[in-house]
Amino acid sequence: MGPPEHLGSYRLLSSLGAGGFGAVYLALDPGGRTVAVKVLHPHVAADAVAIARLAREVETMRLVRGRHVAEVLDASLTGERPYIVTRYVQGRPLNAVLSADGPLAGDDLVRLARGLAEALESIHAAGVVHRDLKPANVIVSDGEPYVIDFGIACALESASVTASGAVVGTPGYLAPEVLEGRDAGPAADVFAWAATVAFAASGRQPYGTGPATAVAFRVVHREPDLSGTPSWLAPLLAECLRSDPALRPSATDLINRLDLTRPPGDRPGRRDADRPWAAAVTSEAASGSAAGTTSGAAPAVTPAGGHQGGHPGADAGDEAVTRAWRPGDPRRSVDDLRARHRRKLHRRWVAGSAVVVGLFAAAARDNLPEVSLLLLVLYGIGLLVDAGFGLAARSRERPALDAAGGVGAVAVWALLSSLFSTGTLLLAVGTVVIILLMLVFAS
């Protein structure tokens, strides 16, 4: 097996898929963190106009920061294989989620709609237009949406890239002004937001399916089909799907409107109380004024009916309570996830090693009793050292788990020695060795 492929300072691990502009790979950065590397297709890389435009836009794209966007971290647009590096979000594309689980409803739909609106607000605040928002460019992780590929479609639109006559974007999610050749602004993304949310809510494309030209014709000349979308959401979607971009709300307006419009039966303040990153707002914001947000902070949340996010059951007349969002407030920080992952790996290692050591010691008990005893002693010493590190790190779970592993190894040794013959145990040892070697080569 040859050495892993590298692209610049990034080690490519596996393919994540491919789109109209390039192939995406899971990769490791120099610090060992996972990232997504998008390598542009050769016909795009050969387009000097498109690459020059993308190079100008990348610096702006790197300014986009938001909880619901996969930020651009790095880019190299020179050489034969230009690429863009973004934050890696582990999850499934929205279209795959809908195909497997069906349309979204209730709080899940609200989380999607609001998360996408927050992403567009962050993107537009940096002066970027996504231009190709659609279910395939939305990654869903733990129920939260994350927008990928923002700004790339707009930056790569050039004569040679579209020489085949193809439209940069996806019909059904492209706004009428884009299909008619007019400039696309933030309002075009709002149109795509509505088409995406309508599809998520109903499982149906608002402009139907079929040839791209037929879908594009319906977008320009027909009204959207919003049947199947909830009654509380349909009016907002219809407003966003208007033909005149000047009549569509902004991304910030979408957030405020969604906060004031809740699905029937959704208890006011429930979503916000369950999310430590959500910020309650004062009564002035509830009356319609929009609070400004700084880059990287979550927009203000205005619970319907005057209820505050920190007090789900409060009356409308109660005093408003403000909770500011702070970095580290997300439900599960990166450090917490890493610590949980390390603990899980440690538990698996102790359990697996206890079984393997007990098996090997049992197989050697009759013919090589000294080796059998040595294996158990060495394993015990290793667990004692590991428990010492756990005590130094003030971990109570780690020493207890190591002690359980030592007892488990002795128990496996005694049990297998009494139940099975030496020949059977040696056969089991050989099987384990083969499996371990296969795992090593596979990794």
Mean pLDDT of the chain: 78
Of the listed ranges 110-114, 150-154, 355-359, the least confidently predicted one is: 150-154
Give Cα 198 distance to the centre of its chain. 21
d(CA 327, CA 87): 17
Domain boundaries, the chain: 6-260, 277-331, 334-442
| pLDDT confidence of residue 253 | 93
Supply 194's token pair: 């509505």
- For residue 435, the one-letter residue type is I
pLDDT over 80 at 151, yes or no: no
pLDDT over 50 at 328, yes or no: no
pLDDT over 60 at 109, yes or no: yes
Q: Which residues contact 27 (CB under 8 A, 6 or more apart)?
A: 7, 10, 11, 12, 13, 34, 35, 36, 37, 85
d(CA 20, CA 169): 9
Q: Is 317 helix (H, G, I), strand (E, B) or coil?
A: coil
Q: Please write the tens of the pLDDT for every residue from 40-88.
A: 888 888 888 878 878 877 878 888 888 999 888 888 888 788 888 998 9
For 127, phi then psi, to 5°, come to 80, 25
The pLDDT of 173-181, averaged and rounded, is 90
Of the listed ranges 18-32, 190-204, 266-280, 411-425, the least confidently predicted one is: 266-280
The pLDDT of 273-302, averaged and rounded, is 34
d(CA 239, CA 195): 11
Buried b (16+ CB within 10 A) or exposed e, 268-301: bbbbbbebebbbbbbeebbeeeebebeeebbbbb
| pLDDT confidence of residue 336 | 64
Q: Is 344 annotated as a binding residue?
A: no
pLDDT over 70 at 390, yes or no: yes
- Second-level CATH architecture of 6-260: Orthogonal Bundle (1.10)
| pLDDT confidence of residue 375 | 87
pLDDT over 90 at 281, yes or no: no
Q: Are 24 and 7 in contact (CB under 8 A)?
A: no
Catalytic residue, from 132, 189, 259, 272: name it.
132
Among candidate residues 135, 225, 136, 215, the one with its CA nearest the CA of residue 179: 215
d(CA 298, CA 441): 45
Q: Is the dihedral of CA 209, 211, 213, 217 positive or negative?
A: negative
In this structure, the chain runs to a length of 443
Among candidate residues 233, 250, 139, 137, the one with its CA nearest the CA of residue 188: 250
| pLDDT confidence of residue 268 | 38
The pLDDT of 242-261, averaged and rounded, is 91
d(CA 195, CA 156): 23
Q: Which residues contact 319 (CB under 8 A, 6 or more apart)?
A: none
Supply 31's token pair: 């610090």
**DSSP bridge pairs for 24:** 17, 38
| pLDDT confidence of residue 155 | 56
Q: Please write the tens of the pLDDT for every residue from 335-359.
A: 566 677 778 888 888 888 888 888 8
| pLDDT confidence of residue 288 | 36
Give Cα 303 distance to the centre of its chain. 26
Does the annotation count 132 as an active-site position?
yes
- Model confidence band, residue 2 (pLDDT cutoffs 50, 70, 90): very low
Q: Are 251 and 120 in contact (CB under 8 A)?
A: yes
More confident residue, 394 or 262: 394
pLDDT over 60 at 93, yes or no: yes
pLDDT over 70 at 316, yes or no: no
* Model confidence, pTM: 0.57
Terminal alpha carbon distance of the chain? 11
d(CA 288, CA 433): 68
- The CA distances from residue 133 to 59, 116, 288, 368, in Å, are 20, 9, 28, 67
pLDDT over 80 at 433, yes or no: yes
Q: Which residues contact 326 (CB under 8 A, 6 or more apart)?
A: none
| pLDDT confidence of residue 154 | 57
Q: Is 227 helix (H, G, I), strand (E, B) or coil?
A: coil
